[in-house]
Structure 1
Amino acid sequence: MRFQHIKEPEKLGSYSEEDVVFLLKDISNHINEQDNEQREKIIQNGGHYSEMLPIEYFPNEEYMDIFYKTLQDSKEKVARAVAQVGELIFKEKGEETVIVSLARAGTPIGILIKRYLKFKYKMNIPHYSISIIRGKGIDVNAVKYILNHHNEEGIQFVDGWTGKGAINGVLKEALDEFQKKYGIKISDKLAVLADPAYCVELYGTREDFLIPSACLNSTVSGLISRTVLRADLISDNDFHGAKFYREWLERDLSNLFIDAISKIFPSIHIEMSKLCTIDKNVYNQGIKEVKEIKDKYNIGDINLIKPGVGETTRVLLRRVPWKILINDVDNPNLKHILILAKDKQVPVEIYKNMTYSCCGLIKSKIRGNMD
């Protein structure tokens, strides 16, 4: 089946088109950011997060020092995780592989997987980045565009990490609906760099460690905002939208991050025999722990609980946190979390009963100032 009336993508973001093609509509001149307090009030009164953009947080010098040090200290670990998940993907999809990363956290990881497979197998794997939104689903026009150019069997969805595992459910539901409507089955098996929620089969590691690209916002994600889906901005034939922060090109670290990890690939060796021994069982441990936190802290909405280093960082950068739970004050993965929490005057509490390194609890209108 060939889908009609699908638009061609426009050049977007600071990455090379050799690395990724964004299937997103540029809405840079049509949307303004709102501060976290405004957005939180709207969200908790029925508004949807995808209809707004947060004001991007620019870290201070101390925080940026942690980003650079984390990148230096963890680049081999990240490269090894990229190699493992890349090999698992290639083992399943082979030469038909088409990487479809979930914007925006999945984008740098998708680029790294593409670069690893090019280094290892001398193949230029196609890579697209598309929008998926909790509560609204996947960008159907973007999926149609990919299917106009590639076989569905090769499509591999990629994200940065798992939090509660919620995006798994969104992806599965969206692809089920797509199959019912168009008769095309696409695998909903998600691949991630880090799976601390123990909820996917294809992963680079299950350790909840600090992926350097989780530290920052657009300046490590191709200068692309979160994706937006709003009726006055996105028509029926459009891709989901995003803002391109062209004015920040001089502050952009997106390609620096990609290049730093890619340089490690020649020194990484993955024993193919060990790939067969990787635990692919799905335990969904993360959601069990989140439910325990929900009960312990009497939190009414599970969506106000954001576990893992990546999700907690997001909470501190663009939501209004009530409290941050950490497993160990000396955990090296949490230095930037502690700086952000101090900067935003968010209380931090030791909570040992979780496999995650940390967890962000978002302030609710019901909870108010319980502290």
Structure 2
Amino acid sequence: MTDRAVRMGSYPASDVTFLLKDLSGISIEKSTKERENLIQSGTHYSEMLPVEYKPTGEYMNLFYASLEDSKRKVAEAVAIVAEQIVQKRGLHTVLCSLARAGTPIGVLIKRYIEYKHHKALPHYSVSIIRDRGIDENGLHYILRRHPGDSVAFIDGWTGKGAITKELTRAVSDFNNKYGTALSSELAVLADPGYCSSLFGTREDFLIPSACLNSTVSGLVSRTVLNEKWIGKDDFHGAKYYADLLEEDVSNLYVDAIAAEFPAVEKTAAETAAVLMEDREEPDWRGLASINSIQKEFGIDNTHLIKPGVGETTRVLLRRVPWKILIKPGSEKRLKHILLLAEDRDVPVEEYTDMSYSCCGLIRPVGRDK
């Protein structure tokens, strides 16, 4: 079992330790079309990587504009989540973000707790993969170094709740195998799917880090689990895209949001206290939206339905989109979605029967219309 973390990513070492095997020297990327055909033919998505989307100047301008518009809202949601983690777990807690969308949020939560509670909590980023589970070597690494500490799992947002379910199952398996007592509760910035009990907001709004790939996540790729490169004692793998250093906005992003902490700390503490008092348990209402979309559009596999702003963005950046559904009245808040859809010539349709502001549908292989 690996006992060494390799320095990786463009964040300062004080912000996060990536528990990932560096696969930077290996060619793993497949074109979007080839990757889509492989995935829909049964190859697991984690065995390869998409080609990194290099944003246009117009798209980056949208990112900067969205960051300016939403930085205070994101900061408040971060603070609300951070306060709940501290109240529930105390300050002897290890932050464990789920690579990669959880990493920027974990960095921000760590920074907020340090700002407000004057304690620098350890923060690791660990891989979890749908249908494959969490990186157990990563969990063992954390538990060996922080015996007796609580572990708080962190992600960016929820869609259908697939990762929430995966984490619950994987942590239960881990506890049964090794006699541990980890909590599988997942803290998220936004929970539009109503499938988490620890969240900053349930509004389906644009989290600017969802707009980009590695260039807002420490230049680290999606995680890889392919036995060709990952042995049983290895961490799950990822690539570090050093060639994108000039495009990297990872630290600019967290710095811009962290600068808003003084303005939100009072309101956030009050909101967190209310949420702790009146627990809004998950009711998974997002799944009702998925069921109606699946029925209406004749989609066999719900893996091809990606609800919410974050997931819709991912569909447009790295899958083969079929169409984008937009809730009427949401257009102003979804400029980056509309721009990407226009760039890729993807039709956009209004759709009212969903709890999300938008939803991305992946084209089933062999389907033209």
Q: TM-score, normalised by structure 1?
A: 0.96
Q: How far has the Cα of 1:326 moved from its partner?
A: 0.4
Residues 288-303 of structure 1: pairs in structure 2 closer than 5 A: 288-303=288-303
Q: Within 5 Å, which residues of 2 pair with 1:97-112? A: 97-112=93-108
Asked whether the 8 Å contact 1:93–1:153 carries over to 2, the reply is no
State the one-letter code of the partner of 1:356: Y
**Aligned in 2, Cα 1:236/1:164: closer, same or farther, shift over 3 Å?**
same
- 8 Å Cα contact 2:134/2:170 also seen in 1: yes
Match of 1:249 in 2: 245
- 1:12-161 matches, within 5 Å, as 12-151=8-147, 154-161=150-157
8 Å contact from structure 1 (residues 7, 237) kept in 2: no
Partner of 1:235: 231
- Name the CA distance, whole Å, in 2 between partners of 1:162 and 1:281: 14
SS in 2 for 1:181: helix
Q: Which amino acid aligns with 2:81?
A: V
Q: CA deviation at 1:248?
A: 1.2
Any conservation in 2 of the 1:12–1:22 contact (CA below 8 Å)?
yes
Counterpart residue number, 1:274: 274
Q: Which residue of 1 aligns with 2:315?
A: 315
- Show the counterpart of 1:207: 203
Q: What is the distance in 2 between the residues matched to 1:330 and 1:291?
A: 21
* Percent identity of equivalent pairs: 55
C-alpha separation in 1, matches of 2:194 and 2:168:
17
* Cα separation, partners in 2 of 1:283 and 1:275, compared to 1, 3 Å: closer
Q: Secondary structure at the match of 2:353?
A: coil
2:178 corresponds in structure 1 to: 182
**Cα deviation 1:108-148 (Å, max 9, x = unaligned):** 00000000000000000110000000011100100000010
Which residue identity lines up with residue 326 of structure 2 in the other structure? I
Aligned to 1:345: 345
Q: Distance in 1 between matches of 2:64 and 2:172?
A: 41
Counterpart amino acid of residue 339 in structure 2? I
Native 8 Å contact 1:118 1:125 kept in 2: yes
Tell me whether 167-176 or 191-200 shows the greater mean CA deviation.
167-176
| Preserved CA contact (<8 Å) 1:309 1:333 | no
Give ranges in structure 2 of 5+ residues lacking alignment: none
Does the CA-based 8 Å contact 1:6-1:144 persist in structure 2?
A: no
Aligned residues: 365
Equivalent position amino acid for 2:216 in 1: V
TM-score by length of 2: 0.97
Runs of 5+ consecutive residues of structure 1 not aligned to the other structure: none
- How far off is 1:160 after superposition? 0.2
**Alpha-carbon distance between aligned partners in 1 of 2:36 and 2:247, rounded to the nearest angstrom:** 28
Query: What SS class does the counterpart of residue 104 from structure 2 fall into?
Result: helix
Q: Distance in 1 between matches of 2:148 and 2:308?
A: 32
Q: 1:277: Cα distance to partner?
A: 4.4
- Return the match for 1:6 from 2, 14, 37: 2
Native 8 Å contact 1:326 1:350 kept in 2: yes
Deviation at 1:35, TM superposition (A): 1.0
Q: CA deviation at 1:276?
A: 3.5
SS in 1 for 2:145: coil
Distance in 1 separating the partners of 2:283 and 2:273: 24
Cα displacement (A) at 1:59: 1.8
Alpha-carbon separation, structure 2, partners of 1:121 and 1:358: 37
Alpha-carbon distance in 2 for matches of 1:276, 1:173: 25
Give 1:301's aligned amino acid. N
Distance 1:8 1:263, change over 3 A: same
In structure 2, distance between residues paired with 1:160 and 1:266 = 22
Which residue identity does 2:153 align to in structure 1? F
The alpha carbon displacement at 1:339 in A equals: 0.5
Post-superposition CA distance 1:15-65 (Å, at most 9, x none): 011000000000000133111100000001110100111011112222111
Separation in structure 1 between the aligned mates of residue 226 and residue 197 of structure 2, nearest angstrom:
33
SS at match of 2:30: coil
For 2:40, the aligned partner's letter is: Q
Letter aligned with residue 50 of structure 1: S
C-alpha RMSD of matched pairs (Å): 1.2
Cα distance, 1:152 vs. partner? 5.8
Distance 1:92 1:122 in 2: 17
Report if aligned partners of 1:24, 1:130 keep a CA contact under 8 Å in 2.
Answer: yes
Contact 1:99 1:114 in 2 (8 A): yes
Which residue identity is paired with 2:28? N
